[in-house]
Amino acid sequence: MKANIAVLPGDGIGPEVVAQGLRCLRAVAKAYGHEFALTELPFGGAAIDLSGNPLPEGTLKACLEADAVLLGAIGGPQWSAPEAQVRPEQGLLALRRALGVYANLRPVKVHPALLAASTLKPEVLQGVDLVFVRELTGGIYFGEKRRDPRSATDVCTYTVEEVERIVRVAARLAQQRRGKLVSIDKSNVLETSRLWREVTTRVMRAEFPKVSLEHMLVDSAAMHLIRRPRDFDVLVTENMFGDILTDEASMLAGSLGLLPSASLGEGTRGLYEPIHGSAPDIAGQGIANPCGTILSAALLLRHSLGLSAEAAALERAVSEAIEHNARTPDIAASRDRALSTERVGDAVLERLRAA
């Protein structure tokens, strides 16, 4: 198979973790006889420094022509001054909209060898295997924004069509798993959430009657993610709630650095990235966890390229490397046993080649 993959290393630890994801993609291509054209492009803060634009025209064009996009992370203190008119995050929101990727899948599965990496009790974490489906191109992040010297306004808007399509994605996923869907909103306060609940109920009754549906307020969901995470299967929610709750859920697995994500639309092209940020405090130290990026590459293989066997092989390689103590400082049993970003990449590649 031939595939064209746009690569956006971004800022901070982004280039460090993306480098390991690219090593794994090249190894998969070699082992299975594929040809992956991997094109690195400026994006985020790095692109602002080069051109003043977080999403240069050439980068956007390459992403729109690619079969998939792999992203590291963006942002940093040098671009986050309150008075800044151009920010890396503007590029990310524009890219998501341009690609039409409205469904963000964030799987959270606790590795048995990492039960002690979380601050929660092991008995709470055993068997946790859930997926968040976050609406990605609507809500308060994309609404009208106004500011004057005395006030500021961010408008949150959702349409019926936006809610319908994300609920269908989540329900189809639940059908393939344990048949349980939790829809998260704040319908006791927000009109957008009342619309969300009404539309979700209608779609599920009419189109997915065999999938169990539970509605949950976002504050209750935040509590139960910590209290009884094993009970969840698929969770669907709006943009900002999903952004916050998935960072919370990452602590179930033990580290933000472990979790991948896939942003999908109507076609096969997707945007794949670890859920963590650019972590400028550890950038350049060679200690960032590459597993979230490598697992994002596995999602890319599965969802955009249709290479399920290759994706599973890469996921097994990551799992086996972790099981055999190939861990960066964020999840290592002790600091003196921690490995560098590159050494963890080496361990994953070793397991992948042995498969």
The one-letter amino acid code at 252 reads L
Residues of 302-320 as b/e, b for ≥16 C-beta within 10 angstroms?
A: bbbbebeebbebbbebbbb
**Of the listed 141, 158, 233, 272, which one is catalytic?**
141
Tell me the backbone φ, ψ of residue 161, rounded to 5 degrees.
Answer: -65, -40
By the 10 Å C-beta count (0-12 exposed, 13-18 middle, 19+ buried), 145 is classed as exposed
Please choose, from the candidates 172, 222, 166, the residue with its C-alpha nearest in 3D space to the C-alpha of residue 195.
166
**Of the listed 129, 154, 231, 247, which one is catalytic?**
247
CA distance 275 to 2: 27
For residue 145, give the H/E element and its range. Answer: strand 145-148
Is residue 180 annotated as part of the catalytic site, yes or no? no
Count CB neighbours of 57 within 10 A: 9
**Of the listed 2, 30, 219, 281, which one is catalytic?**
219
Q: Tokens 């609940």, residue? A: 197
CB 260 within 8 A of CB 275: yes
Is residue 336 annotated as part of the catalytic site, yes or no? no
Is residue 185 annotated as part of the catalytic site, yes or no? no
The one-letter amino acid code at 144 reads E
**Of the listed 186, 233, 272, 330, which one is catalytic?**
186
By the 10 Å C-beta count (0-12 exposed, 13-18 middle, 19+ buried), 116 is classed as exposed
Is residue 231 annotated as part of the catalytic site, yes or no? no
Q: Tell me 78's DSSP state.
A: G
Is residue 281 annotated as part of the catalytic site, yes or no? no
Q: What is the C-alpha end-to-end distance of the chain, expressed in Å?
A: 20
**Of the listed 185, 243, 272, 330, which one is catalytic?**
243
Active-site annotation, residues: 141, 186, 219, 243, 247
